[in-house]
Structure formats: structure tokens, C-alpha cells
Amino acid sequence: MKTGFSDTFAKTQTRFFRFLADKFFARRYSHRAVVLETIAGVPGMVAGMWIHLKSLRQMRTGYGPMIRELLAEAENERMHLMFFIEIARPNIAERWLILAAQAIFWNYYFVLYVCAPKTAHLMVHYFEEEAVKSYTSYLQLVESGAVQNVPAPALAIEYYDLPPNARLSDLIQCVREDEMHHSTVNARFANIEEAGHSRRELYPTSVSDCKVLALQARTTPEKAEG
């Protein structure tokens, strides 16, 4: 992936949002996760919706696997939010912050994705890299005893098929693996945009091929409703 304006812009935006997260939440990682996962659930939904509408407008097949990949990402991030809400128990001020952050970021990312999809995917790639670092730091605090290693929420245990005695540290590791996957996927989508290929060329239209790609695209088993 070549460096250029898109890469510089994406990194700058990531540093800006990282600064805000550090400013507001510092090392309160559970509360940080609640707000950031609310935002993290936006890009996949926005991109998936836009590509879905593009497929309808063009009346062409071949977009299904990419749409499913992006919507699976959004759903996965939504579930992360459900897990950490049970742990952090956000107060009224944090809930208002969540509403404001989501409203602002949804419109911002929609405009960015329509105008510059490569840059949008790059930004999510770097967002997810920062998320991996944050969850690694969170895990270190839990394992060192600085943060209590509370039982994992029942919803998370069901979703990830964890043992009944799973703890917060187990949940963090699962969530971190999800974020690694999202980072890789969005880097791949950014490379696709950079190469100048159309999505129709990249995604096969046969039913069998689409089923294979859709299966590969799933981030985690859909074992729990939330």
C-alpha cells in the first residue's frame, strides 16, 4: 500500500481521535471501549449500506460478499459495545457523549466514504490498529491486577462460546482478535481501491463462489442476539 495523501489523512484523523480518547478516558479502558465501540460500529454499516445501494442502482450482482463482510463488521462491533456496557455501566454524561459522537461520526464517515472510499478504509484500518493497542494495554492492566478480572458477561460467553467461568481477560483477547481481523480486511479494501479495480471484477458472481466468500467474511459465529 503506497503512502500518499490518503494515508497521511487517515493517520492524522486516527491520531486526532486517539488524542480525544486519551483526553476523555485516559486509562479507564472499559468506559473508553463503550464510546469507541459505538463509533466503531458505524463504518461497516455506512460502507455496507452504500455498496448495497450502488448494487441496486447499477442492477448488478457481485457485491454480496463485500456487503456481508462490512455488515458483519458492524454487527461484531455492536456486540462489543453490548459486552462492555455490562462491565462499565456508563453514566448519563457518557450516554450523551455516545449519542453525540455517533451522530457526528456517522455523517462525517458517510461523506468521506462516498468521496474517498480508499481513504475511509485506510482510516478504519488505522483505527483498528489503535484498538488492538488499547485492548493490549487493557489486558495488561487486568493481568497485572490493576483492574479487577471480573467474570465475562453471559452474552459474551454465549457469543464467543467461552467456558462458563470465562473472565474479563478472556473477553478482551477475543475482542482484540476481532479488531485485528477488521484491520486486515480494511487494509485489503484500501489496496483494492488503490489498484483501481472495480468491485465487480473483484467479487465473483457465481452462487457457489459468493457462498465461499461470505463464509470467509464472517468475523465470528452468530451465536447470540443482542
Q: The domain that contains 151 carries what CATH number?
A: 1.20.1260.140
User: For residue 27, what pLDDT is reported?
Assistant: 61
Q: What is the mean pLDDT of the chain?
A: 81
Residue 120 counted as domain residue = yes
Residue 222 counted as domain residue = no
pLDDT tens for 153-187 read 999 999 999 999 999 999 999 999 999 999 999 99
Q: How many whole angstroms separate alpha carbon 161 and alpha carbon 156? A: 8
- Count: domains in the chain: 1
Using the predicted structure, report yes or no on whether residue 22 has a pLDDT greater than 80: no
pLDDT tens for 47-85 read 999 999 988 988 888 778 889 999 999 999 999 999 998
Residue 51 counted as domain residue = yes
Q: How many whole angstroms separate alpha carbon 216 and alpha carbon 226? A: 23
Domain residues for the domain of 134 are 5-217
Q: What is the pTM for the complete model shown? A: 0.79
